Amino acid sequence: MKSPPAYIWVRDTVDWSDWDAVEAQLPTGFDAKVERWNRTFEMPFHLFRHRVREIAELNHSSVEGAVCAEWDEIPDGALVLPTDDDDWFAPGIVAELRAALDPAALGCWWQSSWLEVPTDIGHMLHLVKQKLPWSRQFWTCTTNNYAMLKLEGTRWPLYRHVYASRWMDGGGARRMRRVDRTLSVQNRTLASRTSLGLWQENFAHRSLRAKHRAYRRLYRRADLAGVEWARPYVEMMGALMSELEPRG
């Protein structure tokens, strides 16, 4: 008998192709970052993010045994894989999770993996530390390194990884099963809030250009050990970064 599908839930969906819809949902203060982006690059910010999302959608469509759905479309009791609209999953993740689940489990979690350029020296040291075998992740649950059943009380942990981490660290971990594989990648692109310095008042034009060069190098030289399945999407991001040309 065929197993019911798992569901990929993309949180906070935005129609990036529609500038008016994007502008209406920009967080406070982020409009200045977008304006700086549009002064710096030929490709507008929202169209770049639209292309990033298309790459993620291609990845999500390749996940065996899963379908993408809005929260209200997901049946109770289904296995939900939450993610943002720029991040990726391993194609065989659903089979891995189902093999790890048991009747007492609410879900699974696994080691996080990131593709990103450090924001500063402190962030760079943090990323190096995270690669050490004895290091513990700052957040147990990150953007897309966990999955849970859709049950009463699980919406908020699925919606915000911070809530999921606090629940896990408060004793919920006994209801979750660890999978010793890296089954997802957080693709923290040049257009992410963190990369664009959402919390920095003065993120200089020259800093954005320098980070653009760093991201081009990242997608050319990314270490994909353990996440070799991500190579096609890394190559697509590399091609997109090649298209992103600075003005003047």
CA gap 92, 42 in Å, rounded? 37
Does residue 198 form part of some domain?
Answer: yes
The pLDDT score that the predictor gives to residue 182 is: 96
Run of H or E residues at 80: strand 79-83
The CA distance from 77 to 164, in Å, is: 18
- Residue 53 to residues 43, 81, 146, 190, 198, Cα–Cα distance (Å): 15, 17, 20, 13, 20
Report yes or no on 95 lying in a domain.
Answer: yes
Packing angle of the helix pair 45-61, 30-40 (nearest 10 deg): 100
For residue 59, being part of any structural domain is answered with yes
Contact 212, 244 (CB under 8 A): yes
Q: Which two tokens stand for residue 59?
A: 């990845």
- 248, part of any domain: no
Residue 76: what pLDDT?
Answer: 97
**Cβ(109)–Cβ(140) below 8 Å:** yes
| pLDDT on residue 136 | 61
3-class secondary structure per residue, 108-141 = EEECCCEECCCCCHHHHHHHHHHCCCCCCCCCCC
In a domain, 91, yes or no: yes
Which pLDDT tens digits describe the chain residue by residue (248 residues)?
568 899 999 999 999 999 999 999 998 888 999 999 999 999 999 999 999 999 999 999 999 999 999 999 999 999 999 999 999 999 999 999 999 999 999 999 999 999 999 765 555 555 555 555 555 666 799 999 999 999 999 999 999 999 999 999 999 999 999 999 999 999 999 999 888 875 555 555 668 999 999 999 999 999 999 999 999 999 999 999 999 999 97
Q: Is position 247 within any domain?
A: no
Residue 1 lies in a domain: no
Neighbours of 137 (CB within 10 A): 13
CA distance 46 to 35: 11
Q: Which residues of 185-206 are buried (b: 16+ CB within 10 A; e: fewer)?
A: bbbbbbbbeebbbeeeeebeee
Q: Cα torsion for 33, 39, 40, 41, to the nearest 10°?
A: 100
pTM of the model: 0.91
How many CB atoms neighbour CB 168 within 10 A? 21
Q: What DSSP letter does each residue of 188-239 carry, written as one string?
A: --TTSTTTTTTT-S---HHHHHHHHHHHHHHHHH---TT-GGGHHHHHHHHH
Domain enclosing residue 196, as ranges: 6-242
Residue 210 included in any domain: yes
Q: How many domains are contained in the chain?
A: 1
